[in-house]
Amino acid sequence: MDRQTQIRLLVAVVLVLILVAVFSGFFTSNATEVSYHPEFKELVKGGQVESVTITGQSVEGEFAQAGSIDDTSYEKGDAFSTTLPNESVVGGDGRVEQLLADNDVTISAEEPSDGFGRLLLIWLFVLGLFVLFFWYMSRQARGQMGQIGKIGKSQAKLHKPHEPDTRFDDVAGYEEVKQETKEVVAFLSDPDKFRKAGAEVPKGMLMVGPPGTGKTLLARAVAGEAGVPFITVTGSDFMEMFVGVGASRVRDLFKTARQNAPCIIFIDELDSIGRKRGAGMGGGHDEREQTLNQLLGEIDGFEGSEGIVLMGATNRPDVLDPALQRPGRFDRQIVVPLPTIDERTEILQVHTKGKPIGDDVDLSVVARATPGMAGADLKNMVNEAALIAVRRGSDVVEMADLEAARERVTIGRERASLALDESEKETVAYHEGGHALAAFLESEADPVYKVSVLPVGQALGVTTQLPTDEQHIYLRSYLDARLRVMLGGRAALVQATRLARAVVREYGMGKLGPVGYGDDQQVFLGEDLARQQEHSDRTAELIDEEVREILNDALDAVCRDFERLRPGLDAMVRLLVEREALSGEEALKAVRDAVGPEEQLMLRGDAVTPAHSVDMGDAMRRDTETEVEAEQGSPEAAEAPSEQEQAGMA
């Protein structure tokens, strides 16, 4: 509870106590009310009253002895009160004074009060409540006006020197990226050294890379190593519903930076305000463009001696305005790619440090089994493995836990609630077995890692392949092998069509020759909403015909081979239905054992076993190649797209 809340609570308690004290006399009374006739007269005549106090027509006193009135008992010393009628005026024969005197009752008299004091107190209390209410409302109004006055102020957070405790040693891998940023650290630490040589450090550095690769972490490491103030802000912090607020916040940000120079300004998600101007419907967002204009002007206003370095991070450099990346602004672009195998090993060592890891865990094997994962993905996988270990009642993370976590992150969690009957399971097994068998036939296909008919994520089954090399160039023969593997399950038509169309349109590998026919870049990223067709209708027909021909040829080739290997496919399916999941080696062995020597020579593909039992070798830097079929409907339904389909010629 903060101090302001405590004060408000204390004031409320005090007001309640005052209210109780003021009004308690109106609603509570301990005196027993008795009637004047006959009860009061009988009490006086019976010697039950020793003294009374008369105030106007009100009489108050105490009982001299214990007794009862109308079944209401009282004790000696209890108070009572009564009201005199108008005819019972004090004084004279037969009046109340005479009655009390005849029975030896001591009489005291007080002047009746007009109640002005209590009434005044009540009104003062009510007036105080009104004053307190209007004071509170005016204070709230001043606070809101103050917030409106601050709306044009920068939302950036200023970290003092050495507050960011991150260092380069805390960032695993990325040695080349560190090397590019170290000269910025050296300049901020000792700018005179560079001035003497007449050198200038780039005013702006733009870190580009996929999400989760550690761009923000690297910026913190630069600030921590340099030991200078570090100002952080996100691109969305500049945007507000009021016109001109973004530009005002940019001015205030750079004013703060000049007051704390040398320093580092870090703008995360730069594409929020740095998108191309004049793009989109209506020519663009005017407020965002004015904010960008102000940012460009502030960067150009720098001088090399000011010692202010601007750092930005984005995973969409393609949508940035060209003016941001020209010399003098963000003139150095640092690519922060997905980590390599060795870098993934180092990242895993960082995230498993201090955790109870089993003796059977080999992080180098885990790194080989996690191609395409960024640092954030690896951290999530290690945490998922720890959760899996806890679920099975262990406080030590073993290799099997990491393997299960890897599959859950890349493929999805097995759904025990979705049970397939035998006929459905057999249908899915033929579909998944077809993918695996097609991979066994292709020497250039990625090795089969796992075949399963267990519902996983949104899939009814899964066939997983893992690459064995870090490839950067994809040959036409490799793409053809991928097409045949996709069509081996017959349902991957959407993926296969997309890949075949890319072969013809984008890669220039078809009969139409080495000509590119446009791309599929999304229009909402800052490009024009309407694009002109880059080829004739006749060319579009030729593209469709060749795509259809490529797919038909691939499917015919797969069907011819499957006819000869049908016994092997049936054997693999029977084993898959029985066991529900097979490793690549187990699936390949089932096929080999069921076919003749000549058919065995056709199996030129390879397979790998799960990571927790065998070292799978080097893995290429891309996502695990996984084929899934949609949960809704039969295995002939469209399949989820794979990241690897986007692979093109380097």
Cα(471)–Cα(650) distance, rounded to whole angstroms? 10
Q: Is 341-410 a CATH 1.10.8.60 domain?
A: yes
Cα(625)–Cα(464) distance, rounded to whole angstroms? 6
Looking at residue 303, its pLDDT comes to 52
Any idea which fold 31-112 has?
3.30.720
Three-class SS state of 585: helix
Q: Is the pLDDT of residue 181 over 70?
A: yes
Question: Of 225, 407, 432, 629, which one is the catalytic site residue?
Answer: 432
What confidence category does residue 116 fall into, taking pLDDT thresholds of 50, 70 and 90? low
- Residues in contact with 404: Cβ distance below 8 Å, sequence separation at least 6, in sequence order: 385, 388
Q: What is the average pLDDT score of the chain? A: 75
444-476 burial code (b ≥16 CB/10 A, e <16): ebbbbbbbbbbbbbebbbbbbbbbbeeeeebee
What confidence category does residue 365 fall into, taking pLDDT thresholds of 50, 70 and 90? confident
Helical pair 566-579 and 422-441, crossing angle rounded to 10 deg: 130
In terms of average pLDDT, the best of 211-225, 352-366, 452-466 is: 352-366
> Taking residues 232-240, what's their average pLDDT?
74
> Taking residues 507-530, what's their average pLDDT?
60
Phi first, then psi, for residue 635 (nearest 5°) are -65, -10
Pick the CATH number of 157-335 from 1.20.58.1610, 3.40.50.300, 3.10.310.10, 3.30.750.24: 3.40.50.300
What confidence category does residue 612 fall into, taking pLDDT thresholds of 50, 70 and 90? very low
Q: Is the pLDDT of residue 649 over 50?
A: no
What confidence category does residue 643 fall into, taking pLDDT thresholds of 50, 70 and 90? very low
Cα(167)–Cα(221) distance, rounded to whole angstroms? 4
Residue 248 tokens read as 């005002």
In terms of average pLDDT, the best of 444-448, 502-506, 636-640 is: 444-448
β-partners of residue 537 are: none
Phi first, then psi, for residue 245 (nearest 5°) are -70, -40
pLDDT in tens, 344-364: 888 898 889 888 998 888 888
Looking at residue 247, its pLDDT comes to 77
Residue 357 is given by DSSP the state B
Residue 363 tokens read as 């992080």
Which H or E element spans position 497? helix 493-505
Cα(287)–Cα(245) distance, rounded to whole angstroms? 8
Residue 367's closest CA among 385, 342, 388, 387? Answer: 342
Least confident of 252-261, 272-281, 574-583, 623-632: 623-632
Least confident of 99-113, 214-228, 388-402: 99-113
β-partners of residue 83 are: 58
- Residues in contact with 70: Cβ distance below 8 Å, sequence separation at least 6, in sequence order: 39
Amino acid at 422: E
Residue 124 has, within 13 A of its CA and on its CB side, a CA count of: 8
E strand residue ranges, 336-444? none
Sorted by where each begins, the domain ranges of the chain are: 31-112, 157-335, 341-410, 422-519+538-646
What confidence category does residue 270 fall into, taking pLDDT thresholds of 50, 70 and 90? confident
> Which one is predicted more confidently, 461 or 613?
461
> Taking residues 292-311, what's their average pLDDT?
71
422-519+538-646 sits in which CATH class?
A: mainly alpha
Q: Is the pLDDT of residue 640 over 60?
A: no
Give the chain's end-to-end CA distance (angstroms, integer): 59
> Taking residues 287-313, what's their average pLDDT?
74
Q: Is 287 a residue of the active site?
A: no
Inter-residue contact 397 to 386 (CB < 8 Å): yes
| pTM across the whole model | 0.59
Q: Is the pLDDT of residue 617 over 70?
A: no
Least confident of 344-358, 403-417, 438-452, 623-637: 623-637
Cα(169)–Cα(278) distance, rounded to whole angstroms? 43
Cα(456)–Cα(521) distance, rounded to whole angstroms? 31
- Residues in contact with 322: Cβ distance below 8 Å, sequence separation at least 6, in sequence order: 276
